[in-house]
Amino acid sequence: MAIDYFFLKESDICFARYSGRIDISDIIKNYEKYITDSYYRAGRSELIDLTECELGEENFGILGPVANYVDRANTVFRATTLTSLYAPGDIALEIAMEYQRICRDLDWISVVVAKSQREALENLALPYPDFATLLKSETVVKPSGAR
């Protein structure tokens, strides 16, 4: 399992890549690290790439708890986070769409799902055709650690 994230300075988004098999503890540990990072800003939009993530039926069970955890964390900051999930595979797309459905009932997280990189970027009003162009055009800021 790996969840790697970094910040893109000009567009002011957090870009995360999930790879390998992910469980709820991985996501919560990563989110705790993320919201305590000195570069974290409440309400910053997120772009999450699920291309390399190994997802299966068991992942459906973690969606509600993950959504509720993120929503509660955002409640503290009273800021809504827009998350664009890039889910190019069929299983990833199903799971992303279920997560989007769950989040519709929450106050502090808004989720949009895309099957193409271009659509994922458009969801965040970013003008780039793909992730490679985005990353070449922006200043990447690595996580700095806890505040």
Report if residue 146 sits inside a domain. no
pTM of the model: 0.89
CATH number of the domain that residue 122 is part of: 3.30.750.24
Quote the number of domains for the chain. 1
β pairing state of 81-86 and 109-114 = parallel
**pLDDT score of 27:** 81
Confidence category of residue 128, pLDDT binned at 50, 70, 90: very high
Mean pLDDT of the chain: 87
Domain carrying residue 42: 2-141
Report if residue 46 sits inside a domain. yes
Strand arrangement, sheet containing 140-141: 109-114, 81-86, 45-54, 13-21, 2-8, 140-141
Tokens describing residue 37 = 């990072």
Report if residue 147 sits inside a domain. no
**pLDDT score of 92:** 86
pLDDT at 87 over 90: yes
Report if residue 136 sits inside a domain. yes
Percent of the chain past pLDDT 90, that is, above it, reads 48
